[in-house]
Amino acid sequence: MRIFVLTILTIICFEAHTQNFQKEINEQVWKHFITNFNEHNTDGFMTVHSKDAVRSPRDAKVVWNWEEYKQQQSQGDQRALAEKRKHALELGFTERIANKDLAVEVGVYKTTYFLPNGETQSHYGRFHVVLRKESGSWKILVDTDYSEGGTIGEKDFLAAQPLDQ
Protein backbone atom coordinates (compact mmCIF):
# COMPACT_ATOMS: atom_id res chain seq x y z
CA MET A 1 0.00 0.00 0.00
CA ARG A 2 2.84 2.40 0.84
CA ILE A 3 4.41 1.78 -2.56
CA PHE A 4 1.08 2.51 -4.26
CA VAL A 5 0.69 5.79 -2.35
CA LEU A 6 4.29 6.81 -3.09
CA THR A 7 3.78 6.01 -6.78
CA ILE A 8 0.62 8.14 -6.92
CA LEU A 9 2.34 11.02 -5.11
CA THR A 10 5.30 10.82 -7.49
CA ILE A 11 2.98 10.95 -10.51
CA ILE A 12 1.10 13.93 -9.06
CA CYS A 13 4.34 15.82 -8.34
CA PHE A 14 5.69 15.06 -11.82
CA GLU A 15 2.43 16.23 -13.43
CA ALA A 16 2.46 19.48 -11.42
CA HIS A 17 6.11 20.09 -12.36
CA THR A 18 5.35 19.48 -16.05
CA GLN A 19 2.44 21.92 -15.89
CA ASN A 20 4.83 24.59 -14.53
CA PHE A 21 7.06 24.09 -17.57
CA GLN A 22 4.04 24.38 -19.84
CA LYS A 23 2.97 27.64 -18.18
CA GLU A 24 6.48 29.01 -18.69
CA ILE A 25 6.44 27.92 -22.33
CA ASN A 26 2.99 29.47 -22.86
CA GLU A 27 4.14 32.80 -21.40
CA GLN A 28 7.62 32.90 -22.93
CA VAL A 29 6.87 31.40 -26.34
CA TRP A 30 3.33 30.72 -27.47
CA LYS A 31 1.62 33.96 -26.46
CA HIS A 32 4.37 35.99 -28.18
CA PHE A 33 4.45 33.61 -31.16
CA ILE A 34 0.69 34.03 -31.76
CA THR A 35 0.58 37.79 -31.16
CA ASN A 36 3.54 38.58 -33.40
CA PHE A 37 2.39 36.15 -36.11
CA ASN A 38 -1.06 37.74 -36.16
CA GLU A 39 0.41 41.27 -36.24
CA HIS A 40 2.89 40.41 -39.05
CA ASN A 41 5.74 41.44 -36.72
CA THR A 42 8.69 39.43 -38.03
CA ASP A 43 11.24 40.71 -35.49
CA GLY A 44 8.99 39.95 -32.53
CA PHE A 45 8.05 36.59 -34.01
CA MET A 46 11.68 35.55 -34.46
CA THR A 47 12.63 36.43 -30.86
CA VAL A 48 10.93 33.26 -29.62
CA HIS A 49 13.15 31.13 -31.86
CA SER A 50 16.64 29.87 -31.08
CA LYS A 51 19.37 31.13 -33.40
CA ASP A 52 19.92 27.39 -34.03
CA ALA A 53 16.31 27.02 -35.21
CA VAL A 54 15.34 24.61 -37.95
CA ARG A 55 12.04 25.31 -39.70
CA SER A 56 10.31 22.94 -42.10
CA PRO A 57 6.93 23.71 -43.61
CA ARG A 58 6.69 20.11 -44.74
CA ASP A 59 3.98 20.59 -47.36
CA ALA A 60 6.50 22.77 -49.23
CA LYS A 61 9.26 20.13 -48.81
CA VAL A 62 11.81 22.69 -47.59
CA VAL A 63 14.06 23.11 -44.56
CA TRP A 64 15.33 26.51 -43.40
CA ASN A 65 17.86 27.71 -40.85
CA TRP A 66 17.10 30.77 -38.67
CA GLU A 67 18.22 33.33 -41.29
CA GLU A 68 16.26 31.66 -44.09
CA TYR A 69 13.22 31.35 -41.83
CA LYS A 70 13.41 35.04 -40.90
CA GLN A 71 13.74 36.02 -44.56
CA GLN A 72 10.70 33.93 -45.57
CA GLN A 73 8.65 35.20 -42.63
CA SER A 74 9.61 38.81 -43.35
CA GLN A 75 8.65 38.54 -47.03
CA GLY A 76 5.26 37.07 -46.11
CA ASP A 77 4.66 39.69 -43.42
CA GLN A 78 5.60 42.55 -45.76
CA ARG A 79 3.22 41.27 -48.46
CA ALA A 80 0.40 40.87 -45.94
CA LEU A 81 0.92 44.37 -44.54
CA ALA A 82 1.10 45.93 -48.02
CA GLU A 83 -2.11 44.15 -49.04
CA LYS A 84 -3.74 44.85 -45.65
CA ARG A 85 -4.41 41.13 -45.17
CA LYS A 86 -5.33 39.93 -41.70
CA HIS A 87 -5.31 36.51 -40.15
CA ALA A 88 -5.70 34.95 -36.72
CA LEU A 89 -3.68 31.95 -35.54
CA GLU A 90 -4.95 29.61 -32.83
CA LEU A 91 -3.18 26.57 -31.37
CA GLY A 92 -4.51 23.40 -29.80
CA PHE A 93 -2.23 20.81 -28.18
CA THR A 94 -2.43 17.03 -28.39
CA GLU A 95 0.85 16.26 -26.63
CA ARG A 96 3.10 18.31 -24.36
CA ILE A 97 6.24 16.77 -22.90
CA ALA A 98 8.77 18.85 -20.96
CA ASN A 99 11.65 18.64 -18.55
CA LYS A 100 13.81 21.40 -17.10
CA ASP A 101 15.39 22.43 -20.40
CA LEU A 102 13.76 20.55 -23.31
CA ALA A 103 10.19 20.20 -24.52
CA VAL A 104 8.25 18.60 -27.35
CA GLU A 105 4.88 20.04 -28.26
CA VAL A 106 2.48 18.56 -30.81
CA GLY A 107 -0.85 19.95 -31.84
CA VAL A 108 -3.18 21.40 -34.41
CA TYR A 109 -3.18 24.97 -35.64
CA LYS A 110 -6.03 26.94 -37.13
CA THR A 111 -5.33 30.02 -39.20
CA THR A 112 -8.36 32.09 -40.08
CA TYR A 113 -7.98 34.52 -42.98
CA PHE A 114 -10.21 37.59 -43.13
CA LEU A 115 -11.04 38.27 -46.77
CA PRO A 116 -11.72 41.75 -48.24
CA ASN A 117 -15.34 40.78 -48.99
CA GLY A 118 -15.96 40.11 -45.28
CA GLU A 119 -15.81 36.34 -45.54
CA THR A 120 -13.37 34.15 -43.63
CA GLN A 121 -11.44 31.03 -44.58
CA SER A 122 -9.81 28.70 -42.09
CA HIS A 123 -6.84 26.45 -42.77
CA TYR A 124 -5.57 23.71 -40.47
CA GLY A 125 -2.44 21.68 -39.96
CA ARG A 126 -0.54 19.63 -37.44
CA PHE A 127 2.61 21.04 -35.83
CA HIS A 128 5.55 19.41 -34.07
CA VAL A 129 7.85 21.73 -32.14
CA VAL A 130 10.97 21.11 -30.08
CA LEU A 131 11.88 23.79 -27.56
CA ARG A 132 15.06 24.35 -25.59
CA LYS A 133 15.73 26.57 -22.60
CA GLU A 134 18.51 29.02 -23.46
CA SER A 135 19.88 31.40 -20.83
CA GLY A 136 16.74 30.89 -18.75
CA SER A 137 14.21 31.39 -21.57
CA TRP A 138 12.36 28.87 -23.70
CA LYS A 139 13.08 29.09 -27.44
CA ILE A 140 11.79 27.15 -30.42
CA LEU A 141 14.55 24.93 -31.74
CA VAL A 142 12.66 22.86 -34.35
CA ASP A 143 9.36 23.89 -35.92
CA THR A 144 7.57 21.71 -38.47
CA ASP A 145 4.01 21.68 -39.67
CA TYR A 146 2.02 19.97 -42.37
CA SER A 147 -1.56 19.63 -43.56
CA GLU A 148 -1.49 15.84 -43.94
CA GLY A 149 -2.88 16.24 -47.44
CA GLY A 150 -5.62 18.60 -46.27
CA THR A 151 -7.10 16.00 -43.93
CA ILE A 152 -6.67 18.09 -40.76
CA GLY A 153 -9.80 20.11 -39.98
CA GLU A 154 -12.02 21.79 -37.42
CA LYS A 155 -12.83 18.47 -35.74
CA ASP A 156 -9.11 17.86 -35.06
CA PHE A 157 -8.64 21.41 -33.82
CA LEU A 158 -11.59 21.19 -31.42
CA ALA A 159 -10.35 17.83 -30.08
CA ALA A 160 -7.01 19.40 -29.03
CA GLN A 161 -6.43 21.16 -25.70
CA PRO A 162 -6.44 24.98 -25.84
CA LEU A 163 -3.29 26.89 -24.96
CA ASP A 164 -4.36 27.92 -21.45
CA GLN A 165 -5.34 24.47 -20.17
Helices H, strands E: what count in the chain?
A: 5, 6
Tens of pLDDT, residues 86-122:
999 999 999 999 999 999 999 999 999 998 889 999 9
Tell me if the pTM is above 0.95.
no
Given this model, what pLDDT does residue 19 score? 63
Given this model, what pLDDT does residue 115 score? 87
Spatial CA neighbour of 96 closest among 35, 160, 27, 8: 160
Q: Are the C-beta atoms of 38 and 111 separated by less than 8 Å?
A: no
Domain ranges of the chain: 2-162
Residues 6+ apart with CB under 8 A from 45: 32, 33, 36, 37, 73, 77
Spatial CA neighbour of 38 closest among 7, 1, 77: 77
Tens of pLDDT, residues 33-60:
999 999 999 999 999 999 999 999 999 9
In CATH, 2-162 is 3.10.450.50: yes
Residues 6+ apart with CB under 8 A from 102: 130, 131, 132, 133
